[in-house]
Chains A and B, each alone.
Chain A
Amino acid sequence: MKLADYVIEMLNITKIFPGIKANDNITLQLKKGEIHALLGENGAGKSTLMSVLFGLYQPEEGCIKKNGEVVEIRNPNDANALNIGMVHQHFKLVECFSVLDNIILGVEPNKMGFLQKADARKKVLELSERYGLKVDPDAIVEDISVGMQQRTEILKMLYRENEILIFDEPTAVLTPQEIDELMQIMKNLAAEGKSILFISHKLAEIMAVADRCTVLRKGKYIGTVNTKDTTVEELSAMMVGRQVNFKVDKKPSEPGEVVLDVQHVTVPSKIHKNNAVKDVSFQVRRGEIVCLAGIEGNGQTQFVHALTGLDNLSAGTITLCGKDITKASIRNRSKAGMSHIPEDRHKHGLVLDYSLEQNMVLQRYWEPQFQRSGFIKFDAVREYSDRLIEQYDVRSGQGSVTIARSMSGGNQQKAIVAREIDKDPELLIAVQPTRGLDVGAIEYIHQQIVAVRDAGKAVLLVSLELDEVMNLSDRILVMYEGEIVGQFDPKTVTVEELGLYMAGAKRMEV
């Protein structure tokens, strides 16, 4: 194969951070017009490699070639000049600006410094038409959906006439429908001759959209495969380094006494006048995992907030182990035996600028084992945190003193899981516990949740992922528009049947 067949080559890239080789002799070759997936677990070095390509980091060794010529990329401007564009995982959009302003920012058409938006608007509308990227150029970014924000980011690249497009975990924030749309957009872009690098750890998406896939593991290059010659199992084995069990091993559940009893709970909506949660009643018993399934935005979040005390409910009662906790404070709920793995780990799970050990004792620092007359026993905290890190395999740069913000998403989640499970709760509420995690971490967290159940605790799982719902739960409740519209046994129900209830096409009296 001739060199110029590759539009971008990253040859033998090594990038070292203090204490860790983030990229160790990695080679990645991108053909013109292909969709090339970059697969790896959290912390495998995918983002680092892309940051090198985008000029955010300088590699210690190795070189980058464009169309066979060695190029140097010292900053994002250099990358831009080489027509390399990137959609970051966390969008880089100014929220109070219009879509159009965000697209032109940095390359504003102007006369003597005065903005000339008319031409820009025409160009944006043309691009949006040509690639099927529906946006309203005058809408303010904070008012539009996440999907449209992402299309704005893509238009930003196209407006700059970038040829090499990097997508950093683009599907993590999207709904299933938006994911399908994005896949189609990516295919359109490739068909128009754009070359796409697609970072992901979702195997199904890679199989669906990518031509080739390069796998990284712990900073090392594992291999590059054609997706049509491989299987999900092979890819996941390459990624994790061992066979992954997609099916959760668990014994049949033996439900015991009632732990959580929710009766007629109604929660008002903050957005509209109707109630977000309407007259919801159910029970969770010892030794069972009850899953609240549903499409995002059907009241699950509001229900969990009311259940955990983050918000008030307008009617109904919540009883935990026979004790009425309807009006109890969050700490009292926690003391009564409630653990909560929150949906938004950055907002409700961790204090990001605190160290790992401080986060580990967030709900327990006041217990006698961690304080004496108002002074924290730092040794005891450190000892406790070190034990959790060890036991739950939480990986971080500096152990207990690592700032939570600097940890990878998977390890942040593991830290929360460790903290919540180690409290030895009567009821574990796990909301989207594996969102955005790779298969290795998912497998681990699923095992932990099953272990909690087997220890005779009650588990309430709230999940949007049907695989997770089917695999993990002993009983499924479907929530649609704030109501429970169905109750199922996962062994007897099909995914299609569940889908009908989740979409509101069918309902039963529960």
Chain B
Amino acid sequence: MTLLIKYTLIYGIVLMLVALGGCFSEHSGVINIALEGIMVVGAMAGLLVLVMLPSSIVAFWRVFLSIASAALAGLLYSALLAFASINLKADQTIGGTALNVLATAIALVLVKRYNNGLGGTQSPKLSFANGDFLFTIGPITVNVFLFIGLILLVVAAIVLYRTRFGLRLMACGEHPQAADSVGINVYKMRWAGVLISGFLGGIGGLAYIVPAAQIWNFEVGVSGMGFLALAVMIFGQWKPGRIFLAAMFFAVFKALANIYDSTFLSALNLTKEIYNMMPFLASMIILAFTSKKSRAPKAEGAPYDKGMR
């Protein structure tokens, strides 16, 4: 049971962070299907910084710098999507898909290059120590991302619903012409929305890999967590509070895959693959039933053109 809680919290926070990122991007009017790629790039940058930092640095700074670089890398990578879809008015889905494909490739090249420099191996794997990220509360080991995630959740909700920025951001995703007619710079707001999603997505990438492993193979990227986060965002109806609940719900399924053999489920003699499929099957079934009622930001996906009326 403690194991289930542990993994549910790890994956739940990851899904929530990334889905919140998607939520900001979509509220500004840009569909961010590149979340998967942004996670990969963020995780790679964070891990590379982590392994390259000299061991003399104190734990706090080690943690802070690797998370900051993950966020920054995600943000920079999402700038590509922003530029393509806002300035060049490219199709957002195609641009995002391209970035997903590119991200894994970038990560492989850079990680192999790094390993090559160390000892001549061309391995896409990165070994790292995650002890600095973990804490123990009672019987459960938690990680620093739990606290960061909960703080960011509250911040996200306040920004969206209590600030001028949030009101304007959502106006741009719903009715950009209306926003424009009252003097809001739609392009600027959309850039902000996408960059925030990159920031959160980058952290989410690192949060997926660091707490649960000591070695990561970049050939698997982040194994579909970015897409699952999109499902979480839709199930959460683009609202931070509901996104949190939706993320925890999906995380239970994802966690089961890790721990099923230590529970009563092992008696069923099902293969691991079944459990690995569970979150994705669940997302398909749930979205099939709920998507009819879901209310996406109205103008998302459509490039904004001042000339169109």
A-contact bits for B155-187, CB 8 A (1 contact / 0 none): 000000011110110110011011111111000
Collect the chain A residues with CB atoms within 8 Å of residue B183's CB.
Answer: 75-77, 80, 106
Cβ of A113 and Cβ of B165 under 8 Å apart?
yes
Considering the chains assembled together, what is the distance between the CA atoms of A97 and B162 in angstroms?
13
A92–B175 touching, CB < 8 Å: yes
In the complex, A101 has a CB within 8 A of chain B: yes
**B184 nearest in chain A by CB position:** A106
Q: Are B165 and A94 in contact (CB under 8 A)?
A: no
- The answer, among B162, B163, B178, B295, for a CB contact under 8 Å with A94, is B178
Does B298 interact with chain A (Cβ within 8 Å)? yes
What residue of chain B has the Cβ atom nearest to residue A160's Cβ?
B182
Contact with B along A104-119 (1 / 0, CB 8 A): 1111101001110000
B175 to A115, Cβ gap below 8 A? no
Within the complex, the shortest CB–CB distance from B155 to chain A, in Å, comes to 13
Shortest Cβ gap from B160 to chain A (Å): 11
Could you jot down 18 A-B contacts, CB within 8 Å?
A76-B181, A92-B182, A93-B178, A94-B175, A95-B175, A95-B298, A96-B174, A96-B298, A105-B167, A105-B182, A105-B184, A108-B168, A110-B164, A113-B163, A113-B164, A113-B165, A114-B162, A115-B167
Contact B171 A97 (CB under 8 A): yes
Q: For B171, list chain A residues within 8 Å (CB).
A: 94, 97, 105
On whether the beta carbons of A115 and B181 are closer than 8 Å, the reply is no
Residue among A75, A101, A105, A108 having the largest count of chain B Cβ atoms under 10 Å: A105
Say whether A97 contacts B174, CB under 8 Å: yes
Asked whether, in the complex, the Cβ of A115 is within 8 Å of the Cβ of B174, the reply is: no
**Which of B165, B167, B170 has most A Cβ within 10 Å?**
B167
Q: Are A107 and B182 in contact (CB under 8 A)?
A: yes
Q: Nearest A residue to B298 by beta-carbon distance?
A: A95
Q: Are B167 and A101 in contact (CB under 8 A)?
A: yes
Q: Which residues of B contact A92 (CB under 8 A)?
A: 175, 177-178, 181-182
Nearest CB in chain A to that of B180: its residue: A76
Q: Using Cβ atoms and an 8 Å threshold, which residues of chain A touch B162?
A: 114-115
Cα distance A92–B183 in the bound complex, in angstroms:
12
Total contacting residues, chain B, CB less than 8 A: 20
A108 CA to B175 CA, complexed, in Å: 17
- Give per-residue flags for B20-43: 1 if the beta carbon is below 8 A from chain A beta carbons, else 0: 000000000000000000000000
Asked if A115 contacts B164 (CB within 8 A), the reply is yes
**How far apart are the CA atoms of A86 and B174 in the complex, in Å?**
20
Residues of B with C-beta under 8 A to A446: none
Residues of A within 8 A of B (CB): 75-77, 80, 86, 88, 92-97, 101-102, 104-108, 110, 113-115, 156
Complex contacts, A94 vs chain B, CB 8 Å? 170-171, 174-175, 178-179
- Interface 1/0 per residue, B266-309 and A, CB below 8 Å: 00000000000000000000000000000100100000000000
User: Bound state CA distance, A297 and B89, in angstroms?
Assistant: 41
Task: Please report the C-alpha to C-alpha distance between residue A469 and residue B248 in the assembled complex, in whole angstroms.
Answer: 61
Task: Decide yes or no: A108 and B298 within 8 Å by CB, A76-B180, A96-B174, A97-B174 being known contacts.
Answer: no
* B181 contacts across to A, CB distance below 8 A: 76, 86, 88, 92
Q: Which residues of B contact A80 (CB under 8 A)?
A: 182-183
A86 to B183, CA, bound (A): 13
Residue of A nearest to B171 (CB): A94
Q: By the criterion CB–CB under 8 Å, are A105 and B165 in contact?
A: no
In the complex the two chains form, is B298's CB within 8 Å of A110's CB? no
B residues near A95, Cβ cutoff 8 Å: 174-175, 298
Residues of A within 8 A of B178 (CB): 92-94, 102, 105
Give the complex CA separation of A357 and B35 in angstroms. Answer: 42
Report the bound CA distance from A156 to B184 in whole Å. 15
Query: In whole angstroms, how far apart are the Cα atoms of A94 and B180 in the complex?
Result: 12
Closest to A54 in B: B181
How many Å from the CB of B82 to the closest CB on chain A?
22
Residues of A within 8 A of B182 (CB): 76, 80, 92, 105-107, 156
The 3 closest A-B pairs by CB, nearest first: A106-B182, A92-B178, A77-B183
Task: State A114–B155 Cα separation when bound (angstroms).
Answer: 12
Are B295's CB and A105's CB within 8 A? no
* Cα separation A108 to B178 with both chains bound (whole Å): 15
Among A77, A92, A95, A108, chain B packs the most CB atoms within 10 A around the CB of A92
For B175, give its contact among A93, A104, A110, A114 (CB under 8 Å): A93
* Contact call A97/B170, Cβ cutoff below 8 A: yes
Q: Which residues of A contact B184 (CB under 8 A)?
A: 105-106
Q: Which residues does chain B contribute within 8 Å of A113, judged by CB atoms? A: 163-165
- Of all chain A residues, which has the CB nearest B307? A56
Provided the pairs A77-B183, A93-B175, A105-B171 are in contact, do residues A110 and B295 lie with their beta carbons within 8 angstroms?
no
The docked-state distance in angstroms from the alpha carbon of A95 to that of B296 is: 12
Taking A94-B179, A97-B170, A108-B168 as known contacts, 4 extra A-B pairs with beta carbons closer than 8 A to each other, sorted by chain A number, are A95-B175, A95-B298, A108-B164, A115-B163
CA–CA, A115 and B171, complex, Å? 15
A96 to B175, CA, bound (A): 10
Shortest beta-carbon distance from B102 to chain A in Å? 31
In the assembled complex, how far is the CB of residue A259 from the closest CB belonging to chain B, in whole angstroms? Answer: 40
Closest to A75 in B: B183
Closest to B182 in A: A106
Q: In the complex, what distance in Å separates the CA atom of A88 from the CA atom of B180? A: 13
Task: Name A112's closest neighbour in chain B (CB-CB).
Answer: B163
Interface centre among A96, A102, A106, A107 (most CB of B within 10 A): A106
Contacts of B295 in A (CB 8 A): 96
In the complex, chain A residues whose CB is within 8 Å of the CB of B170: 94, 96-97
**With A and B bound together, what is the CA distance between A96 and B300 in angstroms?**
14
Closest CB in chain A relative to B29 CB, distance in Å: 12
A106 to chain B, nearest CB (A): 3
Nearest Cβ on chain A to B37's Cβ, whole angstroms: 30
Which residues from 233 to 285 on chain B have a C-beta closer than 8 Å to any C-beta of chain A? none
The complex places the Cα of A156 from the Cα of B171 at a distance, in Å, of: 15
- B-side contacts of A107, CB under 8 Å: 182
Q: In the complex, how many angstroms separate the beta carbon of B31 from the nearest chain A beta carbon?
A: 18
Residues of A within 8 A of B165 (CB): 113
CA distance A76 to B171 in the complex (A): 17
* CA of A80 to CA of B184, assembled, Å: 12
Question: A105: which of B163, B177, B179, B298 is its contact (CB, 8 Å)?
Answer: B179
Cα-based distance from A97 to B178 in the complex (angstroms): 12
Docked Cα-Cα span, A11 to B175, in Å, equals: 34
- Interchain CA distance A86-B180 in the complex, whole Å: 13
Q: What is the distance, in angstroms, from B1's C-beta to the closest C-beta of chain A? A: 41
- Name the distance in Å between A113's Cβ and chain B's nearest Cβ: 5
Q: Chain A residues near B180 (CB, 8 Å)?
A: 76
Within the assembled complex, what's the spacing in Å between the Cα atoms of A75 and B168? 19
Residues of A within 8 A of B175 (CB): 92-95
Q: Which chain B positions have C-beta within 8 A of A110?
A: 163-164
Expressed in whole angstroms, the Cα–Cα distance for A74 and B170 within the complex equals: 26
How long is the Cα–Cα vector from A99 to B307 in the complex, in angstroms?
27
Give A156 to B162 CA distance when docked, in angstroms.
20
